[in-house]
Structure 1
Amino acid sequence: MLMLIMNSMMIILILLIMVIILNLISKKSMLDREKCSPFECGFDPKTLPRLPFSLHFFLIAIIFLIFDIELALILPLIISIKMSNMMNFYLFTFLFLMILLLGLYHEWNQGALTWAI
Structure 2
Amino acid sequence: MYYMTSAAIMIMIISTLMMVLASTLSKKSIIDREKSSPFECGFDPKSSARLPFSMRFFLIAVIFLIFDVEIALLLPMTITLTSSKITAWSSVSMIFLLILLLGLYHEWNQGSLEWAK
Please tell me the TM-score bracket, short chain as reference: 0.5 to 0.7
Q: Which moved more, 1:53-62 or 1:94-103?
A: 53-62
Give me the TM-score of the superposition, normalised by structure 1. 0.57
1:107 aligns with 107
The alpha-carbon deviation at position 104 of structure 1 amounts to 0.6
Aligned-pair identity in percent equals: 52
Q: CA RMSD in A?
A: 3.7
Residues 11-45 of structure 1, C-alpha deviation per residue, up to 9 Å, x if partnerless?
xxxxxxxxxxxxxxxxx97746147xxxxxxx54x
The alpha-carbon deviation at position 83 of structure 1 amounts to 1.0
Task: Give the length in aligned residue pairs.
Answer: 102
Read off the aligned partner of 2:79 and give its amino acid letter. I
* Equivalent-residue separation in structure 1 for 2:115 and 2:70 (angstroms): 24
| Mapping for residues 20-99 of structure 1, pairs under 5 Å | 31=32, 33-34=36-37, 43-44=49-50, 51=52, 53-99=53-99
| Equivalent position SS for 1:83 | coil
Read off the aligned partner of 1:105 and give its amino acid letter. Y
Structure 2: gaps (5+ residues): 1-27, 39-48
Give me the TM-score of the superposition, normalised by structure 2. 0.57
* Equivalent-residue separation in structure 1 for 2:54 and 2:70 (angstroms): 25
**Which structure is richer in relative contact order (CA contacts within 8 A, separation 6 or more)?**
2
Distance 1:34 1:88, change over 3 A: farther
Distance 1:116 1:81, change over 3 A: same
The alpha-carbon deviation at position 66 of structure 1 amounts to 1.2
